[in-house]
Amino acid sequence: MSTGAPRVLPADSGIAEAASVLRTGGLVAFPTETVYGLGANALDARAAARIFEAKARPSFDPLITHLADTAELEKLVGPLPPAVAALAERFWPGPLTLIVDRPAAVPPIVTSGLDTMAVRVPDHEHARALIAAAGVPVAAPSANRFGQLSPTRAEHVVRGLGAAVDVVLDGGPTRCGIESTIVDARGERPVVLRLGALPVEALEEAAGPVTVRPGSSGQPVAPGTLAAHYAPRTLLRLVSGAEPAAAGGGRRGFLAFRDRPAGTWAAVEVLSPAGDLTEAAARLFEALHELDGTGVDEIVVEPVPEVGVGRAINDRLRRAAATWRPAT
Ligand code: TXA
Ligand code: MG
Average pLDDT over residues 295-322: 93
Average pLDDT over residues 282-300: 93
pLDDT tens track for 90-127:
999 999 999 999 999 999 999 999 999 999 999 999 99
pLDDT tens track for 226-247:
666 677 788 899 987 656 655 5
User: Distance from the CA of 295 to the center of ligand 1, in angstroms?
Assistant: 30
User: Distance from the CA of 146 to the center of ligand 1, in angstroms?
Assistant: 12
CA dist., res. 156 & res. 159, Å (int): 5
Q: Cβ distance 236 to 221 under 8 Å?
A: no
Quick check: 1 pLDDT over 50?
no
> Is ligand 1 within 6 A of the CB of residue 179?
yes
Q: Which of 33, 64, 149, 316 to mutate to test the pocket of ligand 1 (most atoms within 8 A of CB)?
A: 64
The predicted pLDDT at position 216 comes to 35
Which residues, 6+ apart, have CB-to-CB distance to 327 below 8 Å? none
Quick check: 141 pLDDT over 90?
yes
Q: For the chain, how big is the Rg over CA atoms in Å?
A: 19
Average pLDDT over residues 50-54: 96
The predicted pLDDT at position 327 comes to 46
Q: Cβ distance 23 to 73 under 8 Å?
A: no
Average pLDDT over residues 157-183: 97
Which residues, 6+ apart, have CB-to-CB distance to 276 below 8 Å? none
C-alpha distances in Å from residue 196, one per residue of 5, 122, 136: 30, 14, 26
